[in-house]
Amino acid sequence: MLDLRVVKPLDLAKIRSVDYLGEEQLKDSFLLVPGEPYPVVLDIIGENFQNVEAVLLNNNEIRYRMVSTTRIWATVPEIMIGQPIRDLFVITSKEDYSNVTSFIYEEGKTATFVSGIQKLIGQFVFLLLKTPDSGVFARGKGGGLLSIIGTNPNQKFQATTLVAQRILNTGDQLRESQAGSDLPSSEKLRSVTILNIGNTKGDPTSISVSLKITTMAGGDMLTNLQFGAQNLAENLGT
């Protein structure tokens, strides 16, 4: 059964090298105003730059130009010129949830549709992130994960336990909401199994989770989700 995609999965593209465009390249490739200083442009080389959603420099979204699927030119804002590069991310959208870094609520220019287990995982993630009692429909439902993303509890065990509880509670809520519906069995949830959960290396405010989603039809999919990675969700409007 086709349905509108409500959550867009995101991923980090692999960056192989970063350099500054030289003066000659700037003259050949950019419209420069005589007497104005040359822009500072990063020449980013990497992999799989299809479907780029944003380029983040030091947790700030910056303007960019797609040169090819392996090359991006990103302009450093004047206010950031001279600052050291602490981190640089190229964020791309994905069609599936097999290995996901973050999410944004879909606001695409064109409607996209999903079905089957991809639709089920999207609904699960949407409900997991939803704050209970928010929205018009299904009031009181929601995993409320957004309320703990980005926090830094005194004990790591406390954070991972909270996330695990909310994942399992969300599974119960979704099964309850689907009971008695005419959805195909490939879009109904049988179980959510937590395979692994823990803090992301180098980012104590981020949680990585490996899940197995199983449908009533017997199909399953492994998905790796990362919540709160380096404030990406906040920067991308989640």
Q: What is the pLDDT of residues 60-72, one digit of tens each?
A: 889 999 999 999 9
Q: Are residues 221 and 127 in the same domain?
A: yes
Residue 160, amino acid: T
Domain count, the chain: 2
CA pair distance 32, 39, nearest whole angstrom: 8
Domain that holds residue 198: 3-8+95-235
> Is residue 139 located within the same domain as residue 231?
yes
For 52, the token pair is 């780029």
Average pLDDT over residues 178-206: 82
Whether residue 60 is found in the same domain as residue 117: no
Using CA atoms, how far apart are residues 75 and 77, in angstroms rounded to an integer?
A: 6
Are the C-beta atoms of residues 27 and 59 closer than 8 Å to each other? no
Which of 74, 126, 75, 119 has its CA nearest to residue 105?
A: 126
> Same domain for 104 and 122?
yes
| Last residue in a domain, options 44, 59, 93 | 93
The pLDDT assigned to 155 comes to: 53
Query: Which helix (DSSP H) or strand (DSSP E) does residue 158 occupy?
Result: helix 156-178
Residue type, 31: L
If you average pLDDT over residues 77-102, what whole number do you get? 75
Pair (23, 100) in one structural domain: no
Q: Which of 34, 66, 93 is the last residue of a domain?
A: 93
pTM for this predicted structure = 0.55
Q: In this structure, are residues 191 and 216 in contact, taking their beta carbons and an 8 Å threshold?
A: no
Structure letter (DSSP) for residue 47 = S
Domain end residue (candidates: 45, 63, 93): 93
